[in-house]
Chains A and B, each alone.
Chain A
Amino acid sequence: MRPFTYTRANDATSAIKLLTENPNARFLAGGTNLLDLMKEDVERPNTLIDISDLGLAEVKSIANGVNKGGVSMGGLGKNTDAANHPLIRQHYPLLTQAILAGASGQLRNMATNGGNLLQRTRCPYFYEVSMPCNKRAPGTGCGAREGINRMHAIFGWSDQCVAVYPSDMAVALAALDAVVHVRNAAGQERQIPIADFHRLPGNQPEKDTNLVHGELITAIELPPNRLADKSYYLKVRDRASYAFALVSVAAALETEGAMIKQARIAMGGVAHKPWRALKAEQLLVGKEATEANFNQAAEAVMADAKPLAHNAFKVELGKRSIVLALQTAMNGGKL
């Protein structure tokens, strides 16, 4: 670990100011990912600004504004607390399932909601500093493109980077149309729809998100919806817990009689960001919730897949997982 300065911030304004002034500073919240990356010499900040004391941890109903009736989660709330909060469990069980599908109990107790959004890929070439990686060291190449890429992307990758974004929580947030609230040094608040928060790698894989250096995630807002009764987060992985997704699917449905009124499908483990399947969702609207229609939607999602040398299985697995997740959602989230 390189020497660094540690500062414990007392309030958000000074924390944001400190960060803005120093391009090599980082916020430290739960530290579950950042500290690992520093030990491995992947992240090399010269200053850590500990924001644990800023509050911003509350889960509450939204009383006003466009998302009135929804729920807001503080950026610095712990993942465990978000997953288990009655408001989340009641209105967004999909999010509870997704959070609890990730990491381990110990990690979720430390990890924050904002930090979860900002966790970095677990691509092994990103982690091993002697390897080429455009995300860690732009211009050095992509170790995984022609290397071991079983865990990597099948959607939206570029020759610069084939990494996947690892969060489970964010996949549910994508399906739930969450909005990320951030604040900058000028005190300005900005709202970023979850779909625009993470990026595809393109020619700048070093940029995971559209967050500007100096911005602090203050809250994540969940708009109200009628999806709570029929939702399910399915995570397929190499072991039953504490493993990243081969493929995951956040599925949610609103039905009227036999008809699907609204559908949400987002996937994890397949792209550099949560992969929302808008076209497939549209296909389902107005149709009956049958296996044939679910299959058709799944086919539509996977039509765009471009697998790499070692991950072609994700195409078939993705199809089956979408169908199973939708079926389970229809069944009230019970397998």
Chain B
Amino acid sequence: MKDTNKAVGSPINRIDGIAKVTGKAPYSMDHTVTNPAYALLVKSTIAAGTIQDIDSAAAEKAPGVLAIITHKNAPKLNVKGGLRGGALLQSPEIEFFGQNIGIVVAETFEQARYASRLINVTYEKKEPKVDFDLVADQARMPKDKDKADAKRGDVQAALRQATHKVEEVYETPIEHHHPMEPHAAIAEWNGDKVTLYSSAQIVNGAQSAAAATLNLKPEQVRIVSPYIGGGFGSKGGQWANLALAAVAARQVNRPVKLALTRQQMVNSVGLRQHNRQKVSLAATADGKLTALAHEITTHCAINDEFVEPCGDCSKIMYDSPNSLITYRVVPMNLIVPTYTRGPGKSTGSFALESAMDELAYTLKMDPIEFRIKNEPARDPSNGKPWSSRTTVQCLREGAKAFGWEKRKPEPRQNAQGNYWIGYGVSAGTYPAHQRPTSALVKLNRTGNEVKATIELAAADLGTGTYTILTQTAADALGLAVQNVHVKIGDSDLPPAAGAVGSVGAASYANAVNDACEKITQELLTKSGKQFFVRPTAAQLMLSEKLTDYQTRVDSKPPEQAEEYSAHSFNANFAEVAVNKSTGMVRVNRFLAVTGAGKILNPKTARSQIIGGNVWGIGMALTEESVVDPRWGNFVTRSLGDYHVPANLDIGHLDAIFINEHDEHVNTLGIKGIGEVGIVGVAAAIANAVFNATGKRVRELPITPDKVL
């Protein structure tokens, strides 16, 4: 028992760390079921057209094969059930290369894979739309109302009158999430109920989408997802493989394990779309912005629209009297794009923060001072006051910690041997929200020891949900962390928000805190006593000699939160070394300074931020999914071809948190850190490459050929 040392804010080790490194934490395919069969998805080898016939006679006779399911014999599923991307074997139409066209179920995975190669598919091909350059001019206004043109003032007039301006196009390629754990599900039926062991960033979302797709009621579907081997947005919305595992299991009347191969990941679970972003900035000679326009062109699926919000940073980061943000989207024969870490903000900030650097250079201003000069007092997009904003603090403290004063304003002034050294900076942001979440607190006393169990259908992406909820509950109940047990990742538990969009920590921790407050209050009332110093729930369990007590809360964000514009903010500092001969770029040092309200655990928080930084370095330097412009297949199908950064690509990383108390955003003052760690990273590196070499690369990734 303890009540003086606060657990929240301590850098304790992650609660699930030992289980993970000893292999005791079950990921999707690790759960034990009796006598499972194995399923493999069969994929289309064209990007557009119609299946004329699927000949599976030979495959059906192959050793171990239990069932082959195609659109010809698949059960009727609800294609509008909420699983993303379609591809549920409901029709012979092909809309992208690698679309699911069948399932082979066999006694072993190897047998399923062998049989899949014996299936002969004949197609009626159509000319696919798979070359973005060829179709970009057909882009239209998105259907999503959030993506309507947002105009303030007259950008064109301001640009015409400006003495200093930048008008450039920035390109970011298709990226894939590629979590270490590819998407997988075990489906086990029990009568008319199905249990799906499958990692899900939104447990209740997976439940409702799977149920609706399978024409079941939500209570007939249970999602079990105690651990997630990475998701980065690809396990936010769920995909066809989840329902198809259930279909296969029902068909063979056995539990079925269905895992995607790494190669199948490129066309099964979404992607980050290619964005073509034109940014136009104008400023007075002394560096006050007069125009900020951000015009985005991208692609979506043939029958499904998703547009990542690349203009979001441009909406709020800087004060400009004239502003324009537009989106245009063209359907293509590619899988539907989806949320990908820092959706819109990571890619959008590359364009905005590169352009800011270009204009600062034109103005001969320090890029930090240029940003601070244009700091908005209120949210420029809606006039609301900030719940709190730390951009200036992040830039100032970061500059000091990083040694920004050593930067040469002009390129090619800092050489070390065969390398040009450059410094770059950027600023970034991500919105802070709390979402409705329920939580159950159970207290149990044995002798003088009180223990708590916290239950909610939350998700832990590996980021620390178990740990921060343990810390939150320990403090709120007056218990030591080892006497708190957190159960999450199961749709049988009280419904919770997802670990998406940086809402997890705020939603879960506030709900757990509310539940602990409520149980303490109930125990106080139950005691009928009055206290000078309010006792903890743990103390009340002892003083009232209770053995078991529990309560549940349905938590919602505070109503007044809507009166404020609430966001996490950051500043990024990069030092790069560019090989003068070969153009290879290495990030020597990277510093992220983040203002994200209350930091529940500095250790897991730091890991979140530097993890985002690493992906940002990948976005800047190495990651790109390449489509064959004739056939629509990805030629980068493995982690040998799709280059996530290797250890050697990552220099020294450092993360600083601004000590920030935000009393408006939510009860505990939590803003969220899952996304903001990647926002601005690519721009800081691109800006550093310019500072090193004088070469402005506006098309990611910055591979050696673009620097030469």
Contacts and interface: CB of A to CB of B under 8 A. Distances in A.
B518 interface: no
Contacts of A238: 622, 643, 701, 703-704
Given A1-B114, A239-B622, 6 more contacts: A3-B114, A147-B635, A236-B584, A239-B649, A317-B705, A320-B582
Interface in B661-708: 701, 703-705, 708
Contacts of A128: 633, 635, 637
7 contacts: A3-B114, A148-B629, A234-B582, A239-B622, A240-B586, A240-B648, A246-B705
A242 interface: yes
Which bracket fits the contact residues of B?
A: 35 or more
Given A124-B635, A125-B635, A335 B643 contact: no
Interface of A: 1-3, 39-41, 122, 124-125, 127-128, 130-131, 143, 146-148, 150, 234, 236-244, 246, 313, 316-317, 320-321, 323-324, 335
B626 A148 contact: yes
B633 A3 contact: no
Contact of B637 (A3, A124, A239, A321): A124
Contact of B630 (A122, A147, A241, A244): A147
B582 A236 contact: yes
Interface in B622-637: 622, 626, 628-631, 633, 635-637
A335 B263 CA distance: 38
A52 to B, nearest CB: 22
B708 A317 contact: yes
A312 to B, nearest CB: 9
B63 interface: yes
B708 A316 contact: yes
A245 to B, nearest CB: 11
A321 B581 contact: yes
Contact of B643 (A147, A236, A239): A239
User: Which 10 A-B pairs have CB atoms at the shortest separation, nearest pair first?
Assistant: A130-B45, A240-B648, A313-B705, A124-B635, A324-B581, A241-B648, A241-B646, A320-B581, A236-B582, A239-B643
At the interface, is chain B mostly helix, strand, loop or mixed? loop
B583 A317 contact: yes
Nearest to A247: B582
B582 A239 contact: no
Contacts of B191: none
Interface in B274-313: none
A44 to B, nearest CB: 9
Contacts of B629: 147-148
At the interface, is chain A mostly helix, strand, loop or mixed? loop
Nearest to B113: A1
Contacts, number: 94
Contacts of A122: 640-641
Interface of B: 45, 63, 110, 113-114, 117, 263, 417-418, 581-584, 586, 621-622, 626, 628-631, 633, 635-638, 640-641, 643, 645-649, 701, 703-705, 708
Given A3-B63, A317-B708, A323-B581, A124 B636 contact: yes
Contacts of A2: 114, 117
A240 B581 contact: no
A190 B80 CA distance: 66
A242 B418 contact: no
B628 A147 contact: yes
A237 B633 CA distance: 23
Given A131-B633, A148-B626, A241-B646, A324 B582 contact: yes
Contacts of A125: 635
B645 A239 contact: yes
A40 B583 CA distance: 34
Contacts of A39: 113
B259 to A, nearest CB: 14
A317 B636 contact: no
A40 B628 CA distance: 19
B88 to A, nearest CB: 22
A19 B355 CA distance: 62
Contacts of B703: 238
A120 to B, nearest CB: 13
Nearest to A39: B113
Nearest to A146: B630
Contacts of B701: 238
Contacts of B630: 146-147
A244 B638 CA distance: 13
Contacts of A243: 640, 643, 646
Nearest to B627: A148
Contacts of B621: 239
Interface centre among A41, A127, A131, A148 (most CB of B within 10 A): A148
A41 B648 CA distance: 32
A125 B636 CA distance: 10
